[in-house]
Chains A and B, each alone.
Chain A
Amino acid sequence: MKKNILGIFILLVAIFVITAIINPKFLNAYNMQNLIKWSSLYAVMSLGVAFVIITGGIDLSIGSVVGLVAVVLSICLKLEGMDPWSAIGIALILSLLIGLLHGILITKAKVQPFVVTLCGLLVYRSMGRWFTDNQSIGPMPMEEDAGYKNLEQIQHLDFVFSGKIAIGSFNLPTPAIFLLVLSIAAAIFLRRTIWGRYLFALGSNEDGTRYSGINTDRMKILAYVLCSFFAGMAGILFAFELDSVQPAQTGEFYELYAIAAAVLGGCSLRGGEGSVLGVVIAAAVIRLIYNSINMVGISTHLEFGILGLVILLGVIGDELIKKTVNRKQAVQTS
């Protein structure tokens, strides 16, 4: 596992150094804060999909879940004037239920994950647009909104989810703390609990795992629930970060960023492989690329092109490393 992370870590450092050399302003505190903030937001989402990818599944609905959760949260807070913590609760429960639904459809109704979550992508996006008549909305209430009476509490929430904590002269964005807590929890879950072990086993060989007496269906459902839950967390973070939720656009495409980060971070789409640290670093690499493009002044039209190329090269490099490691192991035994 360690060897897999090395490649992506070198990539991170390399882009970092090159950008810093070309434009030293890249290193200023404001830019670093932003970089940390965006990396954290996207990494939370990517961690979620890593659970599913480890089991050999896929979740294409993440972006729409982010969007729907952000919409529902905004409606509850701003238009309904609901108690702010209950609104957060509702948003998270919604995401858990979505994951549960995916898991049950995949394991019990035997629909392929690709199909289930592709339909989810369409349905949740459309629900978000319908709930809002496709009008932009944000979690922060204005004077005329029902939620205005909770303004103070909502501002607290805004600080919790998108504030900055001064550490000396550096302002640490709070999403970074969420990422830290969630990634440590995810790493412990995957490496220290039996369920984490089962997810890896199931992703490598579902039949073999079932023959060892493990309830593979339940573990798969768990993976989808976790995935949607993390997407829901990301939805809340994005809503507060942007203060503006566009039902048709917020979260659009994010599933692909998340999957790209998971793959670049060492998860195999065949299942059974992946590490939390790798995914977090990969999510940071993707955000770093975006930032570098702006800092260096490359045409924004090249963004996707460069991103695609880096992911491809990263995955190829990873594959080469794996091959070498495998060869060494094979030689060891003979």
Chain B
Amino acid sequence: MGEIVPPLIEVSGLTKSFPGVLALRGVSLHLKRGEVLALIGENGAGKSTLMKILAGIQSADAGDFIIDGEQVSFRNVNDAMLKGIALIHQELNLCGNLDLASNVFLGREPTKGGFVNESLMRHQAQQFLSQVGLDMPVNTLAGSLPIGKQQLVEIAKALSCNARVLIMDEPTSSLSQKETDTLFKVVKNLRAHGISIIYISHRLGEVIELADRVTVFRDGENAGDLGRDEINHENMVRLMVGRDLSEFYDRKIHQPGKKVLSLTKFRCPSFPDHPISLSVRAGEIVGIAGLVGAGRTELLQTIFGVTPAIGGVMEIDGKKKEISDPRTAISSGIALVPEDRKQHGLVLPMSVRENSSLPSLKRDSSRGWINESAEEQVTEEAVSALKIKTPNFEQVTRFLSGGNQQKIVLGKWLAMSPKLLMLDEPTRGIDIGAKREIYKLMEKLAGEGMAILFVSSEMEEVLGMADRAYVMHEGKISGELGHNQLSEKAIMNLATGILAAA
């Protein structure tokens, strides 16, 4: 161990800005041969941007990027591949209608006399597939494999390009526990063969199990590095958040009032076989935890009437409601801050003013005429309540940062004073400062008696913000956790289906 091996990748002073956002401010990172480096940080901390630069998808504005002691600058993905760097995307990119061999060699098929050399291709594909523990016929169609195995095919594909560095962006986000275990075995095996891995994850448990070293980003800057024996939960969270948890999530538990929302045997069209029952009281902040694809977003959308319920009873303030579209939901006092704010939350080409007033425009109008002073006032209130940073109200929202965009989505609902506010991944992809504003607002609104129901994939957020949490697994509620039962372990167990409700 004492010998000094120069790092395989060395990045320093890397800067990258997008319109409206400074994504990376002089970050550095180094990676040794045969090590698993975990890169962690809140959403919007700049991890994905750095990975895209390493993989040649984007280029940096400034900074040094050295591989094997040689300064490089990638123009495209091929440049990166030539240097042995491959990115395994969060979304898989296999062609479902092609077989495994064709997928592994897509675009680089071995040829003989202008034709694809099928037998050579199959033979080589078999070798790479077995290297990642996939022993199945190479003529299996990729689309017929479960998601976990598809991911292994992606890795085999990367290996077939002589990859020395694999970048894995949240590889376990849609895997089952068993698939995750398989993946870990493969990763450890690759490490033993001298391949380096940059592992991006939100799941701190996985990081503890897998990583040799941890680099933490916060707000586009390096927040610190942790050596093998410093890797633990508290250290990682402290570096990610920049302060102790209790300070960040400044929660007071309010005395909950009467039931605002109550679902009984409520059935969503996406999971018709799993009736859902839950309730949210006034002044209560209730979290819904679970893995991606567990049906949380679908549940909120059904409550909001985007995809109307196909059975069961929904009561608002104790009165039965049939909600067939967002309009009736809103008039019943429900608001939704959707997960996909660009597609569902905002009308991006429109201004801050036009977005803020969109739901309240009709209420404030008389005979269809827009009430401009009311519109101005609604915008003013949203901007000041959430400290939205915008040069003026006429600013087109497309050019605002994610955090400010999200604040506008929240702000537009404030004008409607909903009884029930639902938030789907309220802090995804936004900076720490905006996060705090949103948490503070949630706390304030709950204090004023609003019922709040939120979905989050960030463990810290559920632990920090929720008075109570439901955990979903494969379309059903696998358990409910009271405030003193909330723990990462309890949530993970319920979310992965290991334990039935406690």
**What is the chain A residue whose CB lies nearest that of B304?**
A211
Any chain B CB within 8 A of the CB of A158? no
CB-CB contacts below 8 Å: A157-207 with B: 192-195, 197-198, 200-201, 204-205, 207
Given A200-B350, A204-B348, A332-B391, A210 and B369 contact (CB-CB distance below 8 Å): no
Pick the contact of A333 from B368, B370, B390 — CB < 8 Å? B390
In the complex, chain A residues whose CB is within 8 Å of the CB of B336: 211
A35 to chain B, nearest CB (A): 34
A218 to chain B, nearest CB (A): 10
Complex CA–CA separation, A273 to B325 (angstroms): 26
Given A194-B361, A194-B365, A330-B19, A213 and B330 contact (CB-CB distance below 8 Å): yes
Any chain B CB within 8 A of the CB of A334? yes
In the complex, chain A residues whose CB is within 8 Å of the CB of B390: 333
Any chain B CB within 8 A of the CB of A232? no
Any chain B CB within 8 A of the CB of A324? no
A117 to chain B, nearest CB (A): 25
**What is the chain A residue whose CB lies nearest that of B390?**
A333
Any chain A CB within 8 A of the CB of B214? no
- Establish whether residues A211 and B344, one from each chain, have CB atoms under 8 Å apart when the complex forms: yes
Count class of interface residues, chain A: 20 to 34
- Establish whether residues A194 and B362, one from each chain, have CB atoms under 8 Å apart when the complex forms: yes
Of B114-122, B313-321, B392-400, B425-433, the one contacting chain A is: B392-400
Given A207-B344, A212-B412, A333-B391, A273 and B19 contact (CB-CB distance below 8 Å): no
Any chain B CB within 8 A of the CB of A112? no
Count class of interface residues, chain B: 35 or more
In the complex, chain A residues whose CB is within 8 Å of the CB of B326: 210-213
A313 to chain B, nearest CB (A): 24
B339 to chain A, nearest CB (A): 11
* Contact string against B for A residues 298-332, beta-carbon threshold 8 Å, 1 for contact and 0 otherwise: 00000000000000000000000000001001111
Most-contacted residue by chain A among B306, B331, B350, B390 (CB, 10 A): B350
CB-CB contacts below 8 Å: B328-361 with A: 329-331, 336, 338, 343-350, 354, 358-359, 361
Any chain A CB within 8 A of the CB of B145? no
CB-CB contacts below 8 Å: B107-151 with A: none
B354 to chain A, nearest CB (A): 7
Given A205-B343, A215-B327, A273 and B349 contact (CB-CB distance below 8 Å): yes
Given A197-B361, A273-B349, A192 and B19 contact (CB-CB distance below 8 Å): no
In the complex, chain A residues whose CB is within 8 Å of the CB of B368: 193-195
In the complex, chain B residues whose CB is within 8 Å of the CB of A127: none
- Establish whether residues B330 and A208, one from each chain, have CB atoms under 8 Å apart when the complex forms: no
**What is the chain A residue whose CB lies nearest that of B389?**
A333
Any chain A CB within 8 A of the CB of B499? no
Any chain B CB within 8 A of the CB of A82? no
- Establish whether residues A201 and B343, one from each chain, have CB atoms under 8 Å apart when the complex forms: no
In the complex, chain A residues whose CB is within 8 Å of the CB of B306: 210-211
Any chain A CB within 8 A of the CB of B17? yes
Any chain A CB within 8 A of the CB of B2? no
Complex CA–CA separation, A192 to B370 (angstroms): 6
- Establish whether residues A334 and B330, one from each chain, have CB atoms under 8 Å apart when the complex forms: no
In the complex, chain A residues whose CB is within 8 Å of the CB of B325: 210, 215
- Establish whether residues B349 and A204, one from each chain, have CB atoms under 8 Å apart when the complex forms: yes
Any chain A CB within 8 A of the CB of B95? no
CB-CB contacts below 8 Å: B402-433 with A: 412
Complex CA–CA separation, A230 to B9 (angstroms): 65
Pick the contact of B369 from A192, A212, A215 — CB < 8 Å? A192
Most-contacted residue by chain B among A195, A208, A213 (CB, 10 A): A213
Any chain B CB within 8 A of the CB of A214? yes
Most-contacted residue by chain B among A194, A207, A215, A331 (CB, 10 A): A194
A21 to chain B, nearest CB (A): 40
Given A194-B365, A207-B344, A333-B395, A214 and B19 contact (CB-CB distance below 8 Å): no
- Establish whether residues A207 and B350, one from each chain, have CB atoms under 8 Å apart when the complex forms: no
A-B contact pairs, 24 of them (CB 8 A): A193-B365, A193-B368, A195-B368, A197-B361, A198-B361, A201-B358, A205-B347, A208-B346, A208-B348, A211-B345, A212-B326, A212-B330, A213-B329, A214-B358, A214-B362, A326-B399, A329-B395, A330-B19, A331-B19, A332-B391, A333-B391, A333-B399, A334-B20, A334-B22
Chain B residues engaging chain A, CB cutoff 8 angstroms = 17, 19-22, 304, 306, 325-327, 329-331, 336, 338, 343-350, 354, 358-359, 361-362, 365, 368-370, 390-391, 395-396, 399-401, 412
With contacts A333-B401, A334-B17, A334-B19 known, what are 7 further pairs, Cβ within 8 A? A192-B370, A194-B370, A204-B348, A210-B326, A211-B338, A332-B395, A333-B391
